C-alpha cells in the first residue's frame, strides 16, 4: 500500500521531530520509512545526504530484522551505533517508520532513549491518522487531478 502524506500530518510530524531534536539535544533527527524513503528531518539536515541515509538506514533495519527472525525474535526495536564523536540511535515506530537521531557528547544515550520513547508514542498516533485517511481514500482533489492529468507524453518527456 502506498504511503500517502497530507499537509496536516506532515506539519504534525515535523513539529514532533523538531521537539525531539531540542529535547534530546540531538544534532539531526530523521524520520524514514522501512522501504528507504526519507519522510522528514530536523536539525542540521543539510550536512548529510538524507536520501542515502534513508536508504542505508532502511537496509540496516531490514538486515537486523532478518537477524531477529533467525534467532526467533519478533524484531530488535532499537539499534545503536557508537562512533568516536557522533552516535546514531535508530528505533522502529509503528512497525513501518524508522526514527533516526544523530547525536554527540552534548547529549547521552539515556536522554535520547527517554525522549525517543515519548516521541514514538506521538508519532504512532499521527501515523494511525495517516493510515485511516488513506484507507478512507481522502485524497486531495488537487493531487488526484494532477495524477489523472498525467499523459503518456508527460511520462515520455521526463526522460528528455
Q: Which is nearer to other proteins, 57 or 107 (CB)?
A: 57
Cα angle value 115/98/59 (rounded, 5°):
140
Query: What number of residues does the chain have?
Result: 160
Distance spanning both ends of the chain, measured CA to CA: 30
Interface with other proteins by CB under 8 A: which range of 74-82, 106-114, 116-124, 140-148?
140-148
Q: Which is nearer to other proteins, 59 or 121 (CB)?
A: 59
Interface with other proteins by CB under 8 A: which range of 30-38, 82-90, 97-105, 120-128?
30-38
x-marked contacts with other proteins along 52-91 as a string, rule CB under 8 A? x--xx-xx--xx-xx-------------------------
DSSP state string for 26-46: -SEEEEEETTS-EEEEEESGG
Residues near 43 by Cβ (< 8 Å), separated by ≥ 6? 21, 26, 27, 28, 29, 102
Residues forming the site for other proteins (CB under 8 A): 1-7, 10-11, 33-37, 39, 49, 51-52, 55-56, 58-59, 62-63, 65-66, 139-140, 143-144, 146-150, 152, 154-159
Amino acid at each position: 500500500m502506498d504511503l500517502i502524506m497530507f499537509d496536516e500530518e506532515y506539519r504534525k510530524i515535523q513539529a514532533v521531530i523538531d521537539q525531539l531534536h531540542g529535547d534530546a539535544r540531538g544534532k539531526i533527527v530523521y524520520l524514514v520509512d522501512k522501504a528507504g524513503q526519507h519522510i522528514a528531518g530536523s536539525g542540521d539536515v543539510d550536512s548529510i545526504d538524507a536520501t542515502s541515509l534513508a536508504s542505508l538506514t532502511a537496509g540496516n533495519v531490514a538486515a537486523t530484522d532478518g537477524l531477529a527472525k533467525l534467532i526467533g525474535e519478533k524484531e530488535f526495536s532499537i539499534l545503536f551505533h557508537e562512533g568516536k564523536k557522533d552516535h546514531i540511535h535508530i528505533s522502529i515506530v509503528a512497525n513501518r517508520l524508522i526514527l533516526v537521531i544523530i547525536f554527540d557528547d552534548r547529549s547521552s544515550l539515556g536522554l535520547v532513549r527517554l525522549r525517543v520513547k515519548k516521541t514514538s508514542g506521538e508519532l504512532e498516533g499521527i501515523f494511525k491518522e495517516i493510515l485511516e485517511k488513506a484507507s478512507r481514500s481522502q485524497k486531495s482533489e488537487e493531487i488526484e487531478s494532477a495524477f489523472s492529468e498525467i499523459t503518456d507524453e508527460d511520462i515520455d518527456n521526463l526522460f528528455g
